Amino acid sequence: MTMTTPPVTPRQRDDHFFLAAQRWLARNDVRLVLLTCHGEVGAPLGTKRQPAVEVPGCVRDLPLHRFVDLSLAGVRDVALTPCSCCTPEDLATVVEQWRAALGTLLRFVITETTPVRAWSWSLSPTRVPVERRGLLGLRTAEQAWPTHAPEADDHARLLTSLRAAGVTSLAQQAPGVALLASGCTACGVCVAACPHDALTLTLAGDQTSLLQAPDACRGEQQCVALCPVTALSVSGPLPWSDVLEAAPRVLATLSMAVCQRCQARFPADSGSTWCEPCRLRRNDPFGSHLPPAAIALLRARGHESR
């Protein structure tokens, strides 16, 4: 039986390159790197102590977790050059966004391009320097690097990088929101509504709890909008400490009863032995309803209606 290896995705190739680059930068005690687009004409010259790193795609599209990984490798200063796909004005705008998000984690500077010569220290997806020990198959003691799952989005990757780097907070606000629950019925609509599985219902004995995962929340608030009893509200943004710790937040805990008819669990504080759907079917087995005007007319004529 022939085993087929799944094709490598572009994102996996990028991850492999950046991990190799991080290891090389850390081993050579690099403090400043020059970032440029891969294959860009007029790429900046680099030295072994200040190498150029050619990133796949455009430098302005680099996600934040790549910069956190650079800081973990020991880099403190990042120089960038405008390219054919990114004007100086565009680059200045995105650099300001990075500064606002990362604070003092890294220092950014925009430089002019310089002519290319035959050889310079440049790390690219097609050319990553390898240490001699690596060529000989000898292991080199090094720190643990963050491992990013191929399917993880940029926010999940950022959290992985921040935890690996020991960073406890960022200058920018975390995307997640702190939810509050009042009058929750444990119906599960909010759990199904969240596209990131940030909400779960857990059962423990006769109690059901609604939990929020701070690291999974993206602040989209579909749970708040779709709650049928408007039980959820937002108290503010989640602090980075809660997001990075990832301890579940208990939003509500309800004592549950079991419906005598369908055996479904429902909040016991209603005082009924029937769940709400079964109670409605019992009171209105045919599901037919008169218009309010007709009900008022019947009552005016002395007829009682339920």
Pick the range with the lowest mean pLDDT from 3-7, 172-176, 210-214.
Answer: 3-7
Alpha carbon distance 74, 31 (integer Å) = 6
Give me the pLDDT at residue 118, please. Answer: 44
Max avg pLDDT among 116-120, 198-202, 282-286 = 198-202
Alpha carbon distance 71, 90 (integer Å) = 24
- pLDDT average, residue stretch 224-241: 96
Q: What share of the chain is helix, strand, coil (3-state, %, to 5)?
A: 30, 20, 50
- pLDDT average, residue stretch 18-34: 91
Give me the pLDDT at residue 132, please. Answer: 62
The 10s digit of each residue's pLDDT in 162-191 is 999 999 989 999 999 999 999 998 889 999
Contact 178, 223 (CB under 8 A): no
Give me the pLDDT at residue 41, please. Answer: 57
Residue, of 60 and 133, whose pLDDT is higher? 60
3-state secondary structure 101-141: HHCCCCEEEECCCCCCCCCCCEEECCECCCCHHHHCCCCCC
Residue carrying structure tokens 């503010």: 236
Give the type of residue at 22: Q
Give me the pLDDT at residue 42, please. Answer: 56
Instruction: Tell me the CA distances in angstroms from 289 to 93, 208, 250, 280, 292, one per residue in order.
Output: 60, 34, 40, 12, 9
DSSP annotation of 243 reads H
Pick the range with the lowest mean pLDDT from 28-32, 97-101, 226-230, 269-273.
Answer: 269-273
pLDDT band at 8 (very low <50, low <70, confident <90, very high): confident
Pick the range with the lowest mean pLDDT from 37-46, 81-90, 113-122, 297-306.
Answer: 113-122
- pLDDT average, residue stretch 255-264: 83
pLDDT band at 237 (very low <50, low <70, confident <90, very high): very high
Give me the pLDDT at residue 222, please. Answer: 96
Distance of CA 196 to the CA centre of its chain: 9
Structure tokens at 62: 């680099």
> What pTM value is reported for the model?
0.79
The 10s digit of each residue's pLDDT in 79-116 is 998 888 888 899 999 999 999 999 999 999 988 765 45
- pLDDT average, residue stretch 218-244: 96
- Say whether pLDDT at 63 is over 90: yes
The 10s digit of each residue's pLDDT in 123-150 is 888 777 666 655 555 555 566 788 899 8
Cβ atoms within 10 Å, residue 226: 13
Give me the pLDDT at residue 250, please. Answer: 97
pLDDT band at 156 (very low <50, low <70, confident <90, very high): very high
- Say whether pLDDT at 26 is over 60: yes
pLDDT band at 30 (very low <50, low <70, confident <90, very high): very high
The domain segmentation of the chain, as residue ranges, is: 10-165, 177-283
